[in-house]
Structure 1
Amino acid sequence: MKNFLTGLVFMITIQFSFAQETTVGERVIKNAKDKTYGRGEQKGDETVDKALNKVEEGITGLFKKKDKKKKKEEAEQQEDRSEQSSDENQESKSQSSSSKKPVKSNSKFDFVAGEKELYFDNFERLAMGDFPAEFNTNASGEIVNVDGQFGKWLSMTKNGAFIPDNIKNLPENFTLEFEVGINTDPTNNYSGLGLNFTIKQQELMKDMFFSRGTSIVYLHPGAGEAAVYVNPSSGTAIENNVKMPQWDVDTNTNFVKISVWRQKGRLRVYANEDKLLDIPRFFSETTNYDFAFFRSFFGDCEVYLTNIRYAVASADTRNKLITEGRFVTNGILFDVNSDNIKPESGTVLKEIATTLQENSTVRVKIIGHTDSDGADAANLSLSQKRAVAVKTALSSFYGIESSRLETDGKGESQPLNKNATSAEKAQNRRVEFIKL
């Protein structure tokens, strides 16, 4: 009996000590957090925040490790029971289960790349270390290669504006595409990478404190957010921000393709294949807008830019193919030296497929064209393979009978220009549809 009482006292003492340690641990976290006056967006606070998270994980992990294991086991048991139940019970249990995964929702990728290309630049013509003469800046930058990435990139090394001289007097309907990346975490301070659309020339050289008549898109990989700011000449300013997981250094997604589409007053912005922003009254002014990139980051970093494509928006696919008997597009894109169709080509392919579905007696010939880079024979073969790839996509994914589709390739034999610049070469990389 004596031994039993001794053991009982010992167990009670351990439990009381464990409870004290838990209370002390929780109090340490609370006091530390109180001294930081909340978690703001300043660099110092962000460092404290990360340190606090580690302390909190260490303390709570020490005292709650068994609880987490128990919750995991319960969740697994719940999942096993759910698999054995009827469909009706599965739905009910799924709705009430604490382990239910959140639903992810993405906006439809309805971007259509412009047909008439006004400017294209991938900086291939430039030597390493140069700055492109077609850009004006009050900052600094140079052409570089980036580890793990194809081609040459403009590295924007300092905060300021970067103005492409060939993107100005913006038409009412245009598209702007580019690839952008960053080499490190710049913290979530300052505004990030900016797309500055303004009616005032003097505003183009700014990277903050914009005046009226300016509309800005902010993309910040340090915060994983996109934002918009519209400051009209008259009326109330518009501000909004959204999450941007497609370009977020916290998840090591350091590179992204951005697509911008203007339709008169409306602006849509896409990251890879997701729509980020859709602003009906972004372009609020009646006069012409000009454009500039700018970077505004708190921490030291390099921001990379390449494959800039600016074009007047696409023509009416259905009208041209049916009424004119011919449709040519630069909107079907392929990987370099490959017949692999890029995902962003889906919208154009779907429009063509819809046209063929609505006109069931129409037959077409699909003709591939390339630029002049490489050997003639290789380009001819590549153009033929790309035409076949388009036929396969229309047949396999959109149900168009293959008997209605013929293919051919012309390689570089029918250029639209002299293939002298990157922009001219991009125009020659096209797919042609001829009504038979």
Structure 2
Amino acid sequence: MRKIAAFSWMLLLPVLLVAGGLVTGKTKYTKFEPGDKVLFETDFRDCPVGEFPEGFDKFEKAVECVKFDDHIWIAPSTDNGMRLWKKLALGGNDFSIEYDLLLNPESKKGINPKVKMRLLTQGKSEKEWDREAHPHIDEPYDLTFYGDRIQFGQVGKLMDVRHPSVKKLHFALQVRRHQYRVFVDGKRLASIPFQAKAHGFEFVFWDMPAYGALLSNIRVARYTKKEAKPTPEKLGIGVKKTKEGMKLTVPEKVLFGFNEFILKPEAKEALSVVGDIIRENPAKKLIVTGYTDNVGSDAYNLKLSLQRAQSVADYLIYCEKVDSKLFEIVGKGKADPIADNATEAGRAKNRRVEIRIVK
């Protein structure tokens, strides 16, 4: 048996960055699913051009309905921008917000209109809602379109946007299981913990010419069913209580390709669940052990098993933020088989990584 301390973070980068890209939680919830109980929805179809839109609680500055490509949008009608907000009892969980933004293709080149969607969170009184907006200051849950980029609160830049090639962007925000997830054009870009209660939302347009950016298709909804948390068993993870704590067994097919130690893209969901289990079961030590079947030389299998254990530990440390000081990395090669190596099914069971949670 060979034991080794965790490699330096510089050595782990090739493991995480090759073959399928960086293995992170960004594709854990790849598909946006809107809430099923609509609280507020408008595409402004009944708003005459030049009139104020209905359905909002307050406005600041000049805003009006406009028509573009046979669709009704709202936009600031002067160079001073606009601000509008809506009070809704969204609470601290299980709601979604969607909207479309369109850069006016007739705007001058080099102009990057700025639009912020801000949640009105717990603690903001009515008077504070009436405050002068400070769009240049990003609060934790602000989603801001800067014309050439999209920025999320204090997380920073999420993506670049090329203007004027972009025509329309669909933004979708999802708060489920106290996670605030951001999707743009169907792609999940970020997720942060949501530790507040929302009483509504507001849009702030600034630093743009009149009609520089258009807004429409706003939909706010609640989820009537709680989001199911992925279970270890459904992902092929074995869970067993032990005298010292708990043992998690993850088969090779969940984590790696045959004879490989680089994590597969789909491994991220399983290891995210492992990270949840570790957080729910505080440990004094985490022993990550890699195993192979008996095919190949002892030296090769020992090295491969150690590399696989290290890949799993690295993901848990750098993507699931588990304390690196807890880890012990072990490579056992073909030792301790749990099935018959004489059959392919048995060899597949032996190729595994075990995580022992020592309490």
TM-score range, shorter chain: 0.3 to 0.5
More strand by proportion, 1 or 2?
Answer: 2
Higher RCO (C-alpha 8 Å, min separation 6): 2
Larger radius of gyration: 1
More helix by proportion, 1 or 2?
Answer: 1
TM-score by length of 1: 0.39
